[in-house]
Chains A and B, each alone.
Chain A
Amino acid sequence: AQTIHQWPVAEIKAVGSPLSLGCTIKGKSSPNLYWYWQATGGTLQQLFYSITVGQVESVVQLNLSASRPKDDQFILSTEKLLLSHSGFYLCAWSLRAVNSDYTFGSGTRLLVI
Chain B
Amino acid sequence: GQQVQQSPASLVLQEGENAELQCNFSSTATQLQWFYQSPGGSLVSLLSNPSGTKHTGRLTSTTVTKERRSSLHISSSQTTDSGTYLCAPTNSAGNKLTFGIGTRVLVRP
The tally of CB-CB contacts under 8 A between chains A and B is 61
Residue contact A99 to B45, C-beta cutoff 8 Å: no
Q: Mark B78-109, 1 if CB is under 8 A from A, else 0.
A: 00000000101010111111111110000000
Interface residues on A, range: 20 to 34
Residue contact B96 to A109, C-beta cutoff 8 Å: no
Residue contact A46 to B48, C-beta cutoff 8 Å: no
Of chain B, the residue at the smallest CB distance from A90 is B43
Residue contact A102 to B95, C-beta cutoff 8 Å: no
Q: How far is the CB of A28 from chain B (nearest CB, A)?
A: 15
Q: How far is the CB of A49 from chain B (nearest CB, A)?
A: 5
- Report if A67 contacts B (CB, 8 A): no
Q: A38-B41, A88-B41, A99-B90 are in contact. Are A46 and B97 (CB under 8 A)?
A: yes
Contacts of A44 in B (CB 8 A): 86, 88, 99
Interface residues of B (CB under 8 A from A): 30-31, 33, 35, 41-43, 45, 48, 50, 86, 88, 90, 92-102
